[in-house]
Amino acid sequence: MMKTEQNVTLENVIVIPNSRGIQWRDFAGLNSGAGNPSFVIRISPEQGHMLEELGGFNVKWPKDEWVRNNPDKAPNPSLKIIASYRYFAPSIKVNIGGKILDYNKEDLVDLDNARFSYAAVVVRGSEVTFNGRKTYAAYLQEAYFELEQPRNSLDQVIAGRI
C-alpha cells in the first residue's frame, strides 16, 4: 500500500567500467514473483545514509565480516531498484554508440548482459511493510544508461537495434 512517496535523484551513481556498479540484474523480471524487472546498484556511503534518513529506504550495507576483512575500503552499500510497469512506466534511455534509444519493458531483457560505462537513475520511494517493518522500496522513475562499444556477438546484437 502506497502511503507516502519520496523522489530522490542519484546522479553519477555508476561511473565504473565493466558493469561493476550494477551488482545484480534481472531486467527480464524472471526472478520476481510479479515479473517486474529489477537491478541492484552500488551507491556511496553518503547516498546510503541520505536514503535511510529520507524515510527508511531499504539500503543494504556490507556485513560486519566484510568490513573487518577490508579495513582500508569504504563499505559501499547497495540499493535494489524495481522497474514496475503496473501504474507508472519508467522512462528509460539507453545510449549505444551515441544513439539514444527509448527502452520499454520488452526491450529491458537486452540489458541483462550489457556492459555499462555510465548510469544515472531517479527513484520513487513507495512505503511497504516487510516482516512487520515499514520501509521504502525504490521504484525506477527515470534511467539513463550508456553502454560500452560492442565487443562480442551479444553486444553486436544489442547494438543492432539502432
pLDDT digits (tens, 9 = 90+) for 9-18: 444 333 333 3
User: What is the spatial distance between Cα 159 and Cα 152, in angstroms, rounded to a whole number?
Assistant: 10
Domain ranges of the chain: 5-159
How much is the pTM?
0.72
Strands 78-82 and 133-147: parallel
Cα distance from N-terminal residue to C-terminal residue, the chain: 39
pLDDT by residue, tens only, the chain of 162 residues: 333 444 444 443 333 333 457 778 888 888 877 788 988 888 878 888 888 877 677 788 888 777 778 888 777 888 888 898 888 889 999 988 888 999 988 888 888 888 788 888 888 777 777 778 777 788 888 888 888 765 555 555 555 555
